[in-house]
């Protein structure tokens, strides 16, 4: 039986195409695409000039104002910069104001970590420090390091303060004091 023959030029083009297909075909590795997970250090949201009002039921728990925030939804973390927080006490109705260069609001653990030029003002007094950790579950503030406490015009300086948001009590180490006192205090 006689077979029809392809011209030499078509045979060589066909062979070249087959060779190209064989060399350019996708391997199994190229078909399996792996997408790396998102970098968890990147925030889900970045906003500027923000006011956030946090409610507990129907009452306002606190109002946070910040020049910039970074929110991490999966970890329930909010980083805020140039911060002013006004917290409302549910028992007394008093307000406490916290100002700081930056804060981390950890909603999962109900903590506020304030850093840099931290100032707390409340009806019971004021606290100034470079760092304050506020455990809102216990209403306990700790200021590790140097701190200045002002109550009723009296100034206490020390280290490692423990108090609450109303500055009703104070525990400190390495205390020095300044203020005005009468003669009745001289006879110890």
Token pair 């180490």 in the structure block, residue: 173
Mean pLDDT, rounded, of the chain:
82
Give the Cα separation of 175 and 26 in Å (integer): 74
For 61-70, how does the pLDDT look when each residue is reduced to its tens digit (9 = 90+)?
A: 889 999 999 9
Nearest 10 degrees: CA dihedral of 132, 133, 137, 140?
Answer: -50
What are residue 107's phi and psi, to 5 degrees? -70, -30
pTM score, whole prediction = 0.70
For 132-157, how does the pLDDT look when each residue is reduced to its tens digit (9 = 90+)?
A: 999 988 989 999 999 999 888 788 89
pLDDT band at 185 (very low <50, low <70, confident <90, very high): very low
Give the Cα separation of 73 and 30 in Å (integer): 34
Give the Cα separation of 96 and 88 in Å (integer): 7
What is the reported pLDDT for 187? 44
């Amino acid at each position: 039986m006689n077979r029809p023959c392809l011209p030499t030029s078509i045979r060589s083009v066909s062979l070249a195409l087959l060779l190209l297909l064989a060399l350019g075909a996708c391997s199994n590795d190229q078909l399996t695409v792996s997408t790396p997970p998102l970098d968890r250090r990147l925030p889900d949201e970045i906003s500027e000039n923000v006011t956030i009002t946090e409610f507990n039921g129907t009452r306002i728990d606190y109002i946070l104002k910040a020049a910039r925030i970074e929110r991490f939804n999966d970890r329930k973390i909010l980083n805020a910069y140039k911060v002013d927080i006004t917290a409302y006490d549910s028992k007394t109705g008093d307000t406490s104001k916290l100002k700081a260069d930056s804060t981390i609001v950890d909603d999962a653990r109900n903590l506020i970590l304030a850093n840099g030029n931290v100032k707390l003002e409340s009806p019971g007094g004021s606290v100034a420090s470079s760092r304050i950790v506020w455990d809102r579950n216990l209403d306990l503030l700790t200021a590790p390091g140097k701190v200045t406490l002002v109550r009723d015009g009296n100034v206490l300086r020390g280290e490692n303060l423990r108090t609450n948001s109303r500055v009703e009590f104070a525990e400190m180490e390495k205390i020095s004091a300044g203020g005005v006192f009468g003669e009745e205090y001289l006879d110890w």
